Structure 1
Amino acid sequence: MHAWRILVPALLVSLIAGCSSTPTTKPGKSEPPSRYKQKHDAGPGKFVDTSHVPDAVPRYEVRTMAGNKNPYTVLGKTYYLIEDERSYKERGYASWYGTKFHGERTSNGEVYDMYAMTAAHKTLPIPSYVRVTNVSNGKTVVVRVNDRGPFHSSRVIDLSYAAAQRIGILGNGTGQVDVEIVLPTDAAPPPRASQQTVATPGSQLPPNTHLQLGAFGSEASAKQFAADVGRKLTYPVFISRVKTHATLYRVRVGPLKDARQMQHARDQIRSLNIPEPHVVYGD
């Protein structure tokens, strides 16, 4: 379903999303045991309703070299990044990626979270925001590009599990889409009634749903960040420790019981100028 993608060496990032992972290696080198733990990609073992996960919200972000090597070569083909993406619009096929890459590093060093509204693109600067519209049914989603791929000639974008579910291409694996840049100054039009897939304000969330604000290699840094944020939020802030090849300290908010609480928590977090948090289920 999915083409091989570029993954950078593990680097310590203070604001990364989703579950922790073991570090990955540069293309051409042997992979650690956790990499490609599945021969084939797939969704979660049972259907997870991600309709309450909001679209990515475009905002100004500093672009660094992380994920933006230009040009770069994969499978013998060289790719050049788009210099001015302001007029970018393209029609092609979208695919999606799931558990095989969930928890692995993306091209800019973040951690791939298949339940967040993200995507992989071959030539857009990282990060970028695009609106993806399923040509067959008109459903749309706004995603944040933080990865490279898909390296398949007929596909223009690789969507997360949540984004693919939103526009209805999970079952087929691919679908024809229109992809259009969304700039931070753009105002997304309200969806048509038929596209209202976001849960109602009082709808229940799965047990142990949290918002992750960041992950740190230093326990002291995690505690300081959690303490600073905790004084300004009305929701519990705690640190979740996970150990793979290295120990990560993940700062999370919750648990959140319903979509109303989640939106309220997001609003509080946004007011602190913290990057958009990612939804984490049950771990």
Structure 2
Amino acid sequence: VSKDFVTSLTDEEKELCCFEKVANKEFENMEDSLDSMTASYTLLQMMYKTRGAVIDAKDKIIDSLESEAEEKDKIIANLKSEVKEKDRNISALKSAVKEKDKIIPAVSGKYQVPTELAANMVNTEPMSLVNPLGSIEGNVKFDQQYRRMKRKSLSPDFVEVGNNNKGGEGITEDMPASKKLRSGNCERLDKNNTITASNVNRICVDDEAKIGKLKLEKRQQVENEMLRKELRDKDEALEQSRELNNVLILKEHQQNNELQQIRKILIH
């Protein structure tokens, strides 16, 4: 613009020109501000999307933790059931051990003759039993069947048969040993080959029953020891189950605390 053109303008025209210049400058500033606001808005949109993705990820983590907690609850419930079952088994084993301890026969020199065995010992008339632990009356013929049973030691338990001599002549204490026994089979050397039950106890039954009693006690000791070992093993397994149960409960508490912290973060 020439100097003459400027000087030819009136004051009003000059003021309008100056205002237009200022307006153009303000318009440029507004455009810059709009660009800046557009950029800020775009950044806010990106931040919003990122925050939404983070929230989705945290929701998935929470769902996973809740599923894991439910699974742990099921495991803990199963472990508690196992602990109860093992407690019942241990109680049953303790009862069995107590029963086994009661079975050991008393050392009294008298041994039981079970009714079934006594019935198999004779091939004559049935015996008359006063009671299972009392005396056996009548004659008992020790035949080949009884000798086979003796050799196999089918029953180590005997009770001392009475000291009466009912039902036959019987073996007396002053009789020579050669006449009392023949080949260790507890047989009389008389024509009837018969012996009374009342005198068998001191000749044959005592020694055989004592040996059988020792075998029975040894077997019961072994069985009791096996039961006690099984009981100890079950006790150890139960203790391990309880320790694992406590570890799982502690881990569950830790996970619940972590879950609460995550929820607090999401709320804020």
More strand by share: 1
- TM-score band, normalised by the shorter chain? under 0.3
TM-score by length of 2: 0.21
More helix by share: 2
TM-score by length of 1: 0.20
Larger Rg: 2
